[in-house]
């Protein structure tokens, strides 16, 4: 089965090129690579709606996609601006075109804002490194997005913003102490969006890159006393990424197979492909 998926990059050019310099790929390129490994032969097209001068696809061209995936971003929905509104309008077009979409972190915020939800700076503070004790709701226990997850789990996360007021047709599937909407399904104008506030796409090594990048912020907000402390934490993540058998590091970092096993860590993305993208492609005769 040949699948065609639109990967929507949430960042402006400078942040995504910084990510490429530090990680080897932009966030959208990394997402496309992951999707290709999950579904060999998948065709991923990348869109850059944050960029000035970007011309959005027509509704007819969107309908040619079997699915769409929205990456994270360094932007803030609540700050507004054309770079944010272009992404919200693209998500609205995806809803209208009935293209199933998935988003992580910034992605779920755009999915919610496009359907009438409200995104704010979290008054409880930032989640950084890992979101702990993500608990499935009763709806989440039965939902295919989270099929295979336990009732509570840990996942990679870096975010300050949260969906404070979900859209009218949103079903909250998971939450935790800091974030009321950690996972959700949103139905809007005939389309369906599945999203998570955490980052199932981040390996421990990519997360380590990001933590080193935001070390000044972590120190300012009290997550670490100094740069060497952040570097040591990131180094432990790199070591554990290379050797999953380091149970001493897993214990010290409070991580289990839900993060250490790549198939389990990326489960929501695979569930999206298997339960939303592939069935839709079959129905449209793209199989």
107 and 70 in a common domain: yes
Q: Report the pLDDT averaged over residues 156-162.
A: 98
Q: Report the pLDDT averaged over residues 91-120.
A: 98
Confidence of residue 55 (pLDDT cuts 50, 70, 90): confident
Question: Residue 114 has which token pair?
Answer: 């496009």
Confidence of residue 162 (pLDDT cuts 50, 70, 90): very high
Q: Are 233 and 219 in contact (CB under 8 A)?
A: no
For residue 253, the enclosing domain spans 204-257
| The pLDDT value given to residue 240 | 98
Confidence of residue 125 (pLDDT cuts 50, 70, 90): very high
How many angstroms separate the CA atoms of 223 and 212, rounded? 13
Q: Are 169 and 210 in contact (CB under 8 A)?
A: no
106 and 221 in a common domain: no
Question: Is residue 59 over pLDDT 70?
Answer: no
Q: How many domains does the chain have?
A: 2
Q: Are 102 and 153 in contact (CB under 8 A)?
A: no
Please list the active-site residues.
Answer: 105, 199, 201
Question: Is residue 193 over pLDDT 60?
Answer: yes
Residue of 7, 27, 8, 31 lying closest to 19 (CA atoms) = 27
Phi, psi of 183 (to 5 degrees): -155, 145
| The pLDDT value given to residue 287 | 43
240 and 117 in a common domain: no
Q: Are 86 and 47 in contact (CB under 8 A)?
A: no
How many angstroms separate the CA atoms of 240 and 166, rounded? 36
92 and 38 in a common domain: yes
- Predicted TM-score of the model (pTM): 0.96
The neighbour count for residue 192, using CB atoms within 10 Å, is: 19
238 and 188 in a common domain: no
Confidence of residue 151 (pLDDT cuts 50, 70, 90): very high
106 and 55 in a common domain: yes
- Given phi > 0 = left and psi -120 to 50 = alpha, else beta, which region is 111? alpha
Question: Is residue 183 over pLDDT 80?
Answer: yes
CATH, residue 152:
3.40.50.880
Question: Is residue 47 over pLDDT 90?
Answer: yes
SS (HEC) of the chain? CCCEEEEECCCCHHHHHHHHHHHCCCHHHHHHHHHHHHCCCCEEEEECCCCCCCCCCCHHHHCCCCEEEECCCCCCHHHCCHHHHHHHHHHHHHHHHCCCEEEECHHHHHHHHHCCCEEEECCCCCEEEEEEEEEECHHHHHCHHHCCCCCEEEEEEEECEEEEECCCCEEEEEECCCCCCCEEEEEECCEEEEEECCCCCCCHHHHHHHHHHCHHHHHHCCCCCCHHHHHHHHHHHHHHHHCCCCHHHHHHHCCCHHHHCHHHHCHHHHHHHHHHHHHHHHHCCCC
152 and 141 in a common domain: yes
Bridge partners of residue 162, in order along the sequence? 120
Question: Is residue 284 over pLDDT 70?
Answer: no
76 and 18 in a common domain: yes
135 and 30 in a common domain: yes
Roughly how many angstroms between the first and final C-alpha of the chain, as a whole number?
A: 5
89 and 219 in a common domain: no
Q: Are 72 and 199 in contact (CB under 8 A)?
A: yes
159 and 250 in a common domain: no
| The pLDDT value given to residue 283 | 57
For 233-254, the pLDDT digits (tens) are 999 999 999 999 999 999 999 9
User: Which of 13-22, 54-63, 186-195, 269-278 is predicted with the least confidence, judged by mean pLDDT?
Assistant: 54-63
130 and 215 in a common domain: no
């Amino acid at each position: 089965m040949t699948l065609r998926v639109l990967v929507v990059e949430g960042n402006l050019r400078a942040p995504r090129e910084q990510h490429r310099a530090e990680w080897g790929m932009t966030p959208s390129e990394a997402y496309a690579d992951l999707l290709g490994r999950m579904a060999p032969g998948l065709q991923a097209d990348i869109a850059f709606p944050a960029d000035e001068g970007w011309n959005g696809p027509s509704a007819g061209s969107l309908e040619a996609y079997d699915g769409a995936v929205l990456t994270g971003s360094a932007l803030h929905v609540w700050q507004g601006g054309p770079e944010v509104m272009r992404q919200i309008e693209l998500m609205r077009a995806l809803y209208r075109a009935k293209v199933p979409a998935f988003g992580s972190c910034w992605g779920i915020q755009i999915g919610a804002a496009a359907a009438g939800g409200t995104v704010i700076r979290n008054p409880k503070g930032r989640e950084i490194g890992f979101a702990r004790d993500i608990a499935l709701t009763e709806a989440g226990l039965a939902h295919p997005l989270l099929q295979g997850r336990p009732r509570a789990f840990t996942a990679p996360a870096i975010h300050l913003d949260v969906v404070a007021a979900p859209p009218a047709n949103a079903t909250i599937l998971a939450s935790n102490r800091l974030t009321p909407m950690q996972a959700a399904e949103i139905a809007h104008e005939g389309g369906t969006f599945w999203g998570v506030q955490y980052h199932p796409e981040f390996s421990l090594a990519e997360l380590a890159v990001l933590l080193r990048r935001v070390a000044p912020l972590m120190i300012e907000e009290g997550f670490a006393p100094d740069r060497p402390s952040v570097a040591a934490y990131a180094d432990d993540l790199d070591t554990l990424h290379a050797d999953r058998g380091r149970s001493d590091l897993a214990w010290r970092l409070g991580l289990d197979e839900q993060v250490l096993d790549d198939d389990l860590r990326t489960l929501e993305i695979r569930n999206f492909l298997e339960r939303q993208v592939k069935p839709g492609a079959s129905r449209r005769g793209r199989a």
